[in-house]
Amino acid sequence: MADNKSTDIESLLQALESANRRIAELKDDLLRWHSAIEGARDGVWDWNVVTNEVFFSKRWKDILGYEEHEIAGTFSEWDSRIHPEDKERTYADLTPHLQGSSPFYENVHRVQCKDGSYKWILDRGQVVERDAQGNALRVVGTHTDVTQRTKLEEELRRSQAMLAQSQRLAKMGSWSWEVESGSIQWSEETFRIFGKSPHTFTPDYMSFMDLVHPDDKEALTQAIQLALEGGGKYEVEHRIPLPDGSVKHVRGLGKAEFDSQGKAVRLSGTVQDVTERKEAEQHLRDSEHMLRTMSEASHDALIMIDAQDVIHFWSPAAELMFGYTREEALGSKMHPMITLPDDAEKAAHGLQSFAHTGKGLVMGSTMEFPAIRKDGTQFLVERSVSAFEMGGKWYAVGSLRDITERKEAEAKLEYMATTDSLTGLANRRHFLEMAERELERAHRYGNPLSLLMIDADHFKSVNDTYGHDIGDLVLKALARESRLGLRRVDILSRMGGEEFAALLPEADETTAFDVAERLRKRIQSARVDTEQGIITFTVSIGAASLSRDRRTVEQLLKAADKALYAAKEAGRNQVMSAPK
């Protein structure tokens, strides 16, 4: 009996030892798997198909810019972020794998990040568990950021497309004409240019001339004849009417060869399709006409200069904006004429580099700078500049806009957004922004900081007795006296209604109380003259300073507000400090 127990214990110990080895092996496998995933910088997801619960790894969330707690463990977190244009294609790859008709799932699609942008993600996964009927129960996969690779692939595709297009441009065919026999040989490209097939068309002089536009035949015939009669070479452009009614432009070059008696025996040369060049030239002429028309109608000044700063184009709007006529401007140096001396000097240095490269700090950018009119007045201009090369020289074209009115409007809007319209003080939002900056400075340098909450006593009775117009006069007087009673460094705000706040940089509890008491006395002595008589008023003030337990603006506000309430409860017209 004892032997049996001993045997059972030994078996149990062996099984336990085997299990421990297996656990260690699994831990090693898990560590290797985790290291491999981390090394690859991939995210991991584990999807319970039945419950739609999904485990997203920290790296999965990091790739999209999310913190650990910002993504829930649900399938919709992934589905809702797929780009609408990619969703159908994504599920077209995922569904067959779930149904068991493909060995794995793999798809590249765009997924929205926390900042609203999209990243290209290589999503790969495989069903790791199915039920007895073959339905997918669990899918595990990885999530790889391939944005950079996708961009490079797209750039490569564009480059390849541009290369292919370039190879189709400016195709040049060759030909040779044996004058004695009349035999003409065309290269394959020449057949293509003339729209003929080498299998169905045999070129000779007459059939070639039949392909030339009737209005160009005489000039081409004369050029060929002169070459054959001793001129040697010819160069002529002519048109080829096409069956669809369009016209192709070609440039023909030919050279005659003569025998010992000076008789032409062969004429050979090239033909180049220059239709696109002709169309581009016409487009350029149209564009120049359009630019001229637009510049005449535009309120923005258009100015073109060369690398020596010499003006070559001066639009009508430039005349109006700067006061110089076109005749005065053309041929003059632009920067000394319309910019401040320091800016003109900087521009001169920049133009030295621009002359060789066509590049500069201002190229392709929009900048603001102070400009000078002919009469010496200054105004603010927004300038955008681009460069182009013509005849081996670089030129810059600038579009300049007078933004004086816009800047004034922006300043007005900024004032309205940050200022209380009645008192001219900072409004609550602007005050809190400034308070945060002062708080950060106080923490950084270890300086004291205090905050006052100021409330007009019995203000409701003022409104009820004298009306809101008189109440507004009282609030304005309170604001005025508070400004005069505070230090220059202090920040005053109307927080709303009859409640005001003051931030006191570098003021400890004692200083804050002294400032508040001085302010209270000043306001108590103030007088408001009205048609209904002289009105006096008082304020209650709560003061709070930074301490170990008060380190945020919100905590200062709450403490000062609580002290203000205590001042009200104690009879008003007094200062109370928040306890440390």
Q: List the CATH number of the domain containing 265.
A: 3.30.450.20
CB of 375 closer than 8 Å to CB of 323: yes
Q: CA dihedral in degrees (340, 346, 348, 350; nearest 10)?
A: -140
Tally of domains within the chain: 4
Mean pLDDT of the chain: 88
Q: What angle do CA 202, 205, 209 make, to 5 degrees?
A: 100
Question: Does 309 lie in the same domain as 336?
Answer: yes
pLDDT of residue 26: 47
Q: Which domain holds residue 230?
A: 172-278
Question: Does 567 lie in the same domain as 476?
Answer: yes
Q: List the CATH number of the domain containing 473.
A: 3.30.70.270
Q: What is the pLDDT of residues 110-149, one digit of tens each?
A: 999 999 999 999 999 999 999 999 999 999 999 999 999 9
Question: Does 432 lie in the same domain as 536?
Answer: yes
Question: Does 521 lie in the same domain as 491?
Answer: yes
Residue 2 included in any domain: no
Place of tokens 């070479």: 233
Query: Is residue 518 helix, strand or coil?
Result: helix
Residue 564 included in any domain: yes
pLDDT of residue 37: 53
pTM, two decimals, is 0.42
DSSP bridge pairs for 494 = 500
Q: Where residue 284 falls among pLDDT bands split at 50, 70, 90?
A: low
- Give the residue from 346, 379, 406 where a domain finishes: 406
pLDDT of residue 29: 45
Q: What is the pLDDT of residues 482-522, one digit of tens each?
A: 999 999 999 999 999 999 999 999 999 999 999 999 999 99
Dihedrals phi, psi of 181, to nearest 5 degrees? -85, -20
Q: Is 516 exposed, middle or buried (0-12, 13-18, 19+ CB in 10 A)?
A: buried
For residue 166, is pLDDT > 90? Answer: no
Q: What is the mean pLDDT of residues 193-213?
A: 91
Instruction: Output the CA–CA distances (angstroms, integers) from residue 530 to 434, 464, 468, 477, 484, in the order listed.
Output: 35, 15, 13, 12, 21
pLDDT of residue 531: 87
Q: What is the mean pLDDT of residues 278-306?
A: 76
Residue 373 included in any domain: yes
Residue 161 included in any domain: no
Residue 163 included in any domain: no
What are the DSSP calls for 22-66, one per residue? Answer: HHHHHHHHHHHHHHHHHHHT-EEEEEETTTTEEEE-HHHHHHTT-
For residue 34, is pLDDT > 70? Answer: no
CA–CA gap between residue 114 and residue 125 (Å, rounded): 23
What are the DSSP calls for 366-380, one per residue? Answer: EEEEEEE-TTS-EEE
Closest C-alpha to 542, from 499, 485, 506:
499
CA–CA gap between residue 121 and residue 144 (Å, rounded): 5
Instruction: Output the CA–CA distances (angstroms, integers) from residue 6 to 11, 18, 20, 90, in the order listed.
Output: 9, 18, 21, 61
pLDDT of residue 465: 87
Residue 283 included in any domain: no
Sign of CA dihedral 109, 112, 115, 116: positive
- Give the residue from 118, 150, 182 where a domain finishes: 150
428-445 and 404-418 are packed helices; what angle lies between their axes, rounded to 10 degrees? 80
Question: Does 402 lie in the same domain as 423?
Answer: no
Question: Does 242 lie in the same domain as 108?
Answer: no
For residue 86, is pLDDT > 60? Answer: yes
Q: What is the pLDDT of residues 517-555, one digit of tens each?
A: 999 999 999 999 988 889 999 999 999 999 998 999 999
Question: Does 274 lie in the same domain as 330?
Answer: no
Closest C-alpha to 426, from 437, 440, 416:
416
For residue 576, is pLDDT > 60? Answer: yes
Question: Does 425 lie in the same domain as 402?
Answer: no
- Give the residue from 278, 313, 343 where a domain finishes: 278
CA–CA gap between residue 180 and residue 286 (Å, rounded): 47
Query: Is residue 104 helix, strand or coil?
Result: coil
CA–CA gap between residue 189 and residue 235 (Å, rounded): 19
Place of tokens 């002919």: 374
Question: Does 200 lie in the same domain as 233?
Answer: yes
Q: Where residue 457 falls among pLDDT bands split at 50, 70, 90?
A: very high
Q: Which helix (H) or strand (E) holds 128?
A: strand 118-130
CB of 254 closer than 8 Å to CB of 233: yes
Question: Does 448 lie in the same domain as 573?
Answer: yes
Residue 303 included in any domain: yes
Question: Does 423 lie in the same domain as 400?
Answer: no
Q: What is the pLDDT of residues 423-455, one digit of tens each?
A: 999 999 999 999 999 999 999 999 999 999 999
CB of 541 closer than 8 Å to CB of 520: yes
Q: What is the mean pLDDT of residues 66-70?
A: 93
Residue 13 included in any domain: no
Question: Does 545 lie in the same domain as 439?
Answer: yes
| End-to-end Cα, the chain, rounded Å | 79
What are the DSSP calls for 380-424, one per residue? Answer: EEEEEEEEEEETTEEEEEEEEEE-HHHHHHHHHHHHHHHB-TTT-
Instruction: Output the CA–CA distances (angstroms, integers) from residue 428 to 293, 417, 456, 477, 552, in the order listed.
Output: 51, 10, 17, 19, 16
Q: What is the 3-state secondary structure (H, E, C) of 278-317?
A: HHHHHHHHHHHHHHHHHHHHCCCEEEEEECCCEEEEECHH
